[in-house]
Structure 1
Amino acid sequence: MRDNGLQEFINQVNKLKRLQFLTLLIDGTDEVCLPLLEELFFLASLVDLSIQGPINALPEYRDGLGRNLFTLKLRRCEMDTDALITLGKLPNLTSLRLDAGYFTGVKMTCHAMGFPKLKSLVIDTLPYLEMWEIENGAMPLLYSLSIRI
């Protein structure tokens, strides 16, 4: 999708004021621009977002980012930097699934006070991951954890 097509797509998605569930499949030949992801994370009605394909990075956290997002699934995103800093700040996230190819780095960190409402976490097939650090106070409500190596 070229820049003008991407902007038009963003404009159209922003008109969907009642959109609660969205699956975004990204063709491996194109990278999605950060503005699209920011717009998606700021959709007020969106509660469930699934992204599959190379996005390389998430937007930096700002107030209001993902404020109503309860469920997030990321697959084959090919991020090489730890996005858990941003994800951990999503205020109402209760379910997170990180699937094959989400992360190509070697270390992930769940920071203290991160993921304040997360209840369910699935980590599925992250072949490059060597270390997962969980700081004290992270994920205080987590009751379901599934890891597939």
Structure 2
Amino acid sequence: GKDLEVTRAACEKFKYTPVSVFNFMEGTRLTPEKHAKQDSPFEHLLKPKAGGAAFVLGSMGEVMHTMLDVTVLYPNSPKNIWDMFCGKVSTVVVDVRKVDIPKQFLGKDYTSDAEFKAEFQAWVNELWVEKDQHIANLKAQHEN
């Protein structure tokens, strides 16, 4: 409850101030263990967590119309963070896509509108299906 109130207050303030809002729908970095534990239906992604994004769109929807879908891909996956620090990662792909936010998702209440919640989750899931395929395509393009 406290997180929602803090987010609500920040969103109210940011309606009148230029701001970028970052939301990490996977919630954490993908590892084989997390992927298996979650039984993710996606090959390259964890299941998305839609609630935070829906809450921001509900609070700031009238000023947000597009989002940037950022994908960071390490084609030759580092074994650990030290591989990155030691310069053992030769390629990092950063892909950015502009996505229009459907108007029906703006200004809604995710916590109390079950129909909206289901529709929003279905939309995010659809984005995830596309993103999973996009990652597969990016990987194929950048194979050694």
Q: Which has the higher helix share?
A: 2
Same fold (TM over 0.5): no
Q: TM-score, normalised by structure 1?
A: 0.30
Q: Which has the higher strand share?
A: 1
The structure, 1 or 2, with the larger RCO (C-alpha pairs under 8 Å, 6+ apart) is: 2
Report the structure number with the largest CA radius of gyration.
2
